Structure 1
Amino acid sequence: MARRKPGEGQTALVTGASAGIGVDLAECFAKDGYDLILTARNEGALQEVANRLSSAHGVKTHTIAQDLGAYGGGSAVAAAIAAKGLNVDVVVNNAGYGHAGALTSSDMPTQLGMIDLNVRALVELTYIYWDRMLANKRGGVLNVASTAAFQPGPLMANYYASKAYVLSFSEALWEEARGTGVHVSCLCPGPTVSNFR
């Protein structure tokens, strides 16, 4: 008799799933039997990842091309998920970007866009699915921060601050969810080889 995988019958939403850490996280969830909803801006790259993971692990995959940094991006993803008749059991908030240089070495839209993607979209998606997870007494949120979360970062001040927010938010939600069956984790990787910018 085949052993049941821990994620069978559940679906994980993975943001920033077209490259780098997002692809690796999606693969981890696929190996555990989770069906996947993959989102990022690059539809072609998303579809390649979806096809590969579906073939390799026998899970269902769905893609939603969306810029989560755009205002309402998280709600647009949630609406697309609902339109497909899908449920989300685990939210993996991985999408993000950084900019190296003094604060004013880039324009204001770049700096504010970083907050929109790294913080606002993460909170938006967590908020949308949180009550359902609590009601079901199962599910999870995995937020991707960085080792940057643990100290200030001159010449990357906004990025480091955004990741400190993600870590603090995750730790607080972990406490709120204690004993509910909903799990909250925060991944804080160091420098990695990826398309991250």
Structure 2
Amino acid sequence: MSHHLFLLSPTDTPLYSLTHYSSKPTQSTPSPLASNLPSWSTSAFAGTLTALSGASSATQAHHAQGGAVRLGGGQDRHVIQMIANASLDVIEEVMRRDSAMYLKSVDKFNEWTVSAFVTPGNFKFILLHESKNDDGIRSFFNEVWELYVKTLLNPFHTMHTPIRSPVFDSRVRASAKKYL
């Protein structure tokens, strides 16, 4: 199971991204896209389906060899980024309705759920995940926010610029391992 974190500035400029692969067990659920299609369509249009659902080229090669296609795998980076960017409008809409910082699940694409956290400075933390874990995600966002504030307090960091600190990265990864 994987998690994808994006930190965005108030102008929606990417500041940091992380892909975390969890070793925690998950329930395997069939893709709703694959279950609604006839069997001939999943074999004839496997490349298109896997591209739309986010499965990797390795999955496509496995399908070409006669294996099953895992739809919605989300291994292609551009598909993950597209899902995160598409959710920005929904996040803005939820922000207008709700004054909370942790917005919970704001959007869904195939099996990817988008959770968001918005700081008082309007920085957006977006997490794409496959399983429901509200308490863990809330704790993860709070810890990442604390780490981000500490980074902003560093006199050598310029605000609204990408974060390239190995210390920040290792601490976010440790937090992801702990909560996700």
Structure with greater contact order relative to length (CA < 8 Å, sep ≥ 6) = 2
Structure with the largest fraction of helix: 1
Which of the five TM-score ranges fits, normalised by the shorter chain?
Answer: under 0.3
What is the TM-score of this pair, normalised by structure 2? 0.28
Q: TM-score with structure 1 length normalisation?
A: 0.26
